[in-house]
Structure 1
């Protein structure tokens, strides 16, 4: 590497650090406002949340972006209490009732099969407490949303929420099963409630956003599918008969998208 190249890299690093610092200040200012400007928040979140931010900031940003937390900061505690009480009532109504229907038992059996498979390479998802709360959330969501119900793959969608919601409690990036065992039951109940409502918010947005106006390979097929069929389809694309030109076309579109998002490297982080 030439000396000039090393100097340029140093300048770029300094510029990047300055940009991150400015974004962190702007993000903190938005979150500390009495009334949070959701459009400003989403604009800054487009580039990702800087790794230097605290775990609690990331958690709050996710909940705000999904529409779970109120934009009026004074109402946050009141809304959270109401939502958590509501979830406990839902659990009593749907999960803890004396008798389930055949359809409900079928859903529960499938969830019980899928839960142990969820990110089994990470020991926290093998933790009994995590598996139990995941089962509650997935079952209650499924019976309350019969139009989409439960489909394999939804169990994997809860994992990033769990990590983001657990880190502010444990104050560690790498969470172990032992860390989970040390969390109080009340805190785990709060995580479970927040997980349920945030998953619901996310899935609502997915169902309302099929492929309208998006010129992708599979749009005409997805438009004909219901929510369950769409998720199953995306887990196993029918690519077995693809030819070289199909692969070339896909790679070309991927290159276009990569360049379109290159100014937002952390958009999907």
Structure 2
């Protein structure tokens, strides 16, 4: 075996179906050991930031200007400097738990395997492969051995996937998402021979986190309560499609029912599309020419879909837009009490993006779904439809006539703000700012026009973990925390400045840490005020 040492900034690893420089992966979730508080996340120097999603008043497109090929990453040959700073409040002890209880750090030796496409050097252990710096250093000199757990704990260095490539054995994932649990690629351990202890630790932390989810998801009868507890602090990208489907109740928790249930639900959606449009799910044509469709509903959908997430390439492709049109139209005609309402087009996109990621080795936000085989695109579309339906079932009074659900939430947000930040509430009243003027959109679109799709996806991990009230009750507290966050700035503004500020908030550079801080604050307010109805009534006790 070659003793070549690998450069962390040149080696590519597979993460969430895409090829990523190893250094970037290692920096993305580093943690350090604090003697008093245990393992805590490390803040890292990284200029690569997600941009806020939004249009209408909040249109903020990706900044232009010269960018290096490795924007946001350390250049080759530089050292990774880990900056230790305080981070958000951790409300779930998963990240702080001792790793020793999860896995045993045994010797890891390489296994050399080959396929018709390429030879792959893999590393397996008889337990989840936590490693030490010294073990990583000795791996290159080890002799090949075989492990009985190669399918579960394999570290593979794969070549960068071509644009539009499908994940291995994607057809098995189509049949049952649980098959993806055996196809999670981790970095080649040989790529961290020169890594610092902190970098080794972050990899171990990620492995431990994934294994916690896998222990729950691989059960013959998934414990949804345990899955919620894990999901509150965020779901690993590779496990999110299956986890979301379970948390929403679309995917049966019992393994024996999954294949038949998915096949039945997907066929039901396919039949609904054919009935509505008289064409196949992936058929493309002038649907508006079909005299059988509701022209008013179709007209509004056909206007809104091209405006959806215009800053992301994924949503500019015809294949994406046609899929979203079908999903929204079929949902509207199946729910005549509400029909299609502007804003629902935003809510469909996190599902489409997450479920698409289950099948492709590419950057999902720039991927053209038209490259997918028809049966795979049909599955992504059907699963998106049913999970959107599950979400909207819990907040449907937000979209019926007069939208009473949103009206109640706006009133509750005003009362809650008076309790949390009386000075802010007083200033808004003095400037004649009505909560309905800025927070209606927050409730209607679940803050999707205020933060990026990636950040929305992270928020929804927690919303789904909250259960049936996550998108209604818990969202109210998130909106309260979101408003109070800007209190100091708002109190220096007049009416016009306030309205302009709240319509285009400075969230362009928000990352996962900012979202988790927001969720933590929302949890605090919920703990203080939930079920304390007097606090949510005007004139209640001080």
Both proteins in one fold, TM over 0.5: yes
Q: Could you tell me which residue of structure 1 aligns to residue 332 of structure 2?
A: 142
Please tell me whether residue 32 in structure 1 is matched to residue 211 in structure 2.
no
Distance, in Å, in 1 between the alignment partners of 2:376 and 2:199 is 40
Shift of residue 50, structure 1, vs aligned partner = 3.0
Distance, in Å, in 1 between the alignment partners of 2:369 and 2:260 is 27
Please tell me whether residue 167 in structure 1 is matched to residue 351 in structure 2.
no
Q: Could you tell me which residue of structure 2 aligns to residue 65 of structure 1?
A: 247
CA deviation string 1:53-104 (max 9, x = no partner): x2xx211011111111000112111111000110111112223396436xx2
Please tell me whether residue 192 in structure 1 is matched to residue 381 in structure 2.
yes
Instruction: State whether residues 151 and 231 of structure 1, in contact with CA within 8 Å, keep that contact through their aligned partners in structure 2.
Output: no
Please tell me whether residue 128 in structure 1 is matched to residue 318 in structure 2.
yes
Which of residues 290, 307, 330 is equivalent to 1:117? 307
Q: What SS does the corresponding residue of 1:34 show, helix, strand or coil?
A: coil
Q: Could you tell me which residue of structure 2 aligns to residue 203 of structure 1?
A: 392
Change (3 A) 1:260 1:152: closer
Which of residues 408, 414, 417 is equivalent to 1:217? 414
Shift of residue 21, structure 1, vs aligned partner = 3.7
Q: Could you tell me which residue of structure 2 aligns to residue 261 of structure 1?
A: 520
Q: Could you tell me which residue of structure 1 aligns to residue 258 of structure 2?
A: 76
Distance, in Å, in 2 between the alignment partners of 1:22 and 1:77 is 29
Which of residues 265, 270, 275 is equivalent to 1:93? 275
Distance, in Å, in 2 between the alignment partners of 1:42 and 1:176 is 30
Q: What SS does the corresponding residue of 1:29 show, helix, strand or coil?
A: helix
Distance, in Å, in 1 between the alignment partners of 2:519 and 2:313 is 37
CA deviation string 1:125-148 (max 9, x = no partner): 111111111101000101111222
Q: Could you tell me which residue of structure 1 aligns to residue 138 of structure 2?
A: none
Structure richer in strand, relative to its length? 2
Distance, in Å, in 2 between the alignment partners of 1:232 and 1:160 is 12
Distance, in Å, in 2 between the alignment partners of 1:85 and 1:172 is 28
Distance, in Å, in 2 between the alignment partners of 1:23 and 1:94 is 43
Shift of residue 122, structure 1, vs aligned partner = 1.6
Shift of residue 207, structure 1, vs aligned partner = 3.0
What 5-or-longer segments of structure 2 have no aligned partner? 1-33, 35-80, 85-195, 280-289, 399-404, 417-433, 451-478, 484-489, 503-515, 524-542
Q: What SS does the corresponding residue of 2:244 show, helix, strand or coil?
A: helix
Distance, in Å, in 1 between the alignment partners of 2:208 and 2:229 is 14
- The higher radius of gyration belongs to 2
Shift of residue 11, structure 1, vs aligned partner = 8.8
Give aligned pairs, total: 238
Q: Could you tell me which residue of structure 1 aligns to residue 491 of structure 2?
A: 244
Instruction: State whether residues 312 and 365 of structure 2, in contact with CA within 8 Å, keep that contact through their aligned partners in structure 1.
Output: no
Structure richer in helix, relative to its length? 1
Which of residues 227, 233, 238 is equivalent to 1:41? 227
Shift of residue 15, structure 1, vs aligned partner = 7.2
Distance, in Å, in 1 between the alignment partners of 2:353 and 2:446 is 27
Instruction: State whether residues 305 and 345 of structure 2, in contact with CA within 8 Å, keep that contact through their aligned partners in structure 1.
Output: yes
Q: What SS does the corresponding residue of 1:216 show, helix, strand or coil?
A: helix
Give RMSD over aligned pairs. Answer: 4.2
Distance, in Å, in 2 between the alignment partners of 1:46 and 1:176 is 28
Change (3 A) 1:218 1:169: farther
Distance, in Å, in 2 between the alignment partners of 1:147 and 1:190 is 27
What 5-or-longer segments of structure 1 have no aligned partner? 251-256, 265-269
Change (3 A) 1:59 1:260: closer
